[in-house]
Amino acid sequence: MKISIKEKKELLGALSKVQGVAEKRTALQLLTNIYLHVGNDLLTIKATDLEISMETSLPVHVEETGGVTASAKNLFEIVKELPLEQEVEIASKDNHWIEINCGSSKFNIMGIAPENYPALPDASNCTFACLAPEALMQMIDRTLFAVSIDETRYHLNGVYLEKGDGNRFKMVATDTHRLVYCEKELFAETPDFLSKGIIIPRKGVQELRKLLDVNKKKLAVSLNGNHLIFKDGVTNLFIRLIEGIFPDYQGTIPKNNQNFIKMDTKGLIDSLKRVSLLANEKSRGVRLKFQGKKLKISTNNPDMGEAKESVNTSYEGDILEVSFNARYLMDSVSVIDSEQVLISLNNNDSDRMSPGVIQVPGSEDYLCVLMPMSL
């Protein structure tokens, strides 16, 4: 294989897409590498960790076709530091070595036999449906933070995507301490292959979010067996879905909360940031007391001290007190693109509060259920 690329920024852009997919901690060294294949005046770059895969292409000047594998991290770091706006040459050598030339810079790095690189899923015969990238981006931003990282609960290690009413879809995530969902219209016409709910793993959603950052205007999706495939022009992202049953999240959403409190979104976030500086590092707990159109936020840490702050609210009812994990509460409020946030609570009895529900006033597109904690 021997190619030349006019400017490094074209190659760097392609490498930046795929290098996040390559496995970084694995005994199988081949999965830390990316596969570069040349043919038909195109360089195709592939990466996989066997669960998430990506391939992307860019035009190059081809002197010799073929394929090589190279360390994803090393190749990306080398290209990133090459001189700007200069031609880059890449050539394969004996024993799978790879030579990189750019201006006065020259590198030789070791590769692995390309014929052993895992095959990626096939997207050539798939039927794709165009979706709304901006809507999908909002759904991801409003749910990804609540995905469980507990690997023993594998069915919670991703976001759940299911069809709602009409062409609307719901994206749901929970780590059992909080549950969030966001609902948007994703398609002009809902594709048949998404008629059933699916669980998309966290890493796949993270890579999809990066892809959306690159291209916010055009994205298509398909389903091939147990792989969800996203197509962005010359880039394909393959995500192996999680096999399992997502819990009945509708049953965990409180239906009878009677106390509704509106307040300034930014004011609440800023106050939580300040008060939580002295919260217990493990529990991150803060106490919320609603009384007389004021929310008093406080924390008391025997090892560090105490902090108190108040925020104006719309609440005029009886005194309400509840404690939440400050980080969880900030996460759920910070994704709201509204000047005001609506929190609803309900006293079950004198000793216990029901879960809090966080929403955008006047909208049903976003909802977060937050479990209270004891302080």
pTM, to two decimals: 0.93
Fold of 129-249: DNA Polymerase III; Chain A, domain 2 (3.10.150)
275-333 pLDDT per residue, tens: 999 998 888 999 999 999 999 999 998 889 999 999 999 999 889 999 999 999 999 99
241 band by pLDDT with thresholds 50, 70 and 90: very high
Residue 245's identity, in one-letter code, is I
Tell me the pLDDT tens digit for each residue of 39-76: 989 999 999 999 999 999 999 999 999 999 999 999 99
Structure tokens at 315: 């609440």
Q: What span, in angstroms and rounded, lies between the C-alpha atoms of 44 and 57? A: 4
- State the pLDDT confidence band at 352, using cuts at 50, 70 and 90: low
Query: Looking at domain 2-116, which CATH architecture does it have?
Result: Roll (3.10)
Q: Which residues pair with 43 in a beta bridge?
A: 38, 58
Sequence-ordered list of residues with C-beta below 8 angstroms from that of 24, at least 6 positions apart, any chain:
32, 73
Integer Cα distance of 117 and 55 in angstroms: 13
What is the architecture of the domain spanning 253-370? Roll (3.10)
Q: Where are the domains of the chain?
A: 2-116, 129-249, 253-370
What's the whole-number mean pLDDT along residues 16-35? 89
Burial classification of residue 166, based on how many CB atoms lie within 10 Å of its CB (0-12 exposed, 13-18 middle, 19 or more buried): exposed
In order of 255, 269, 278, 279, 282, the CA distances from 300 in angstroms are 32, 19, 7, 7, 13
Question: CA-to-CA distance for 144 and 202, rounded, in angstroms?
Answer: 7
Choice between 366 and 84, residue whose per-residue pLDDT is larger: 366
Same fold, 129-249 and 253-370: yes
pLDDT, tens digit, 9 for 90 and up, residues 98-157: 999 999 999 999 999 999 899 999 998 899 999 999 999 999 999 999 999 999 999 999
Average pLDDT over residues 237-261: 93
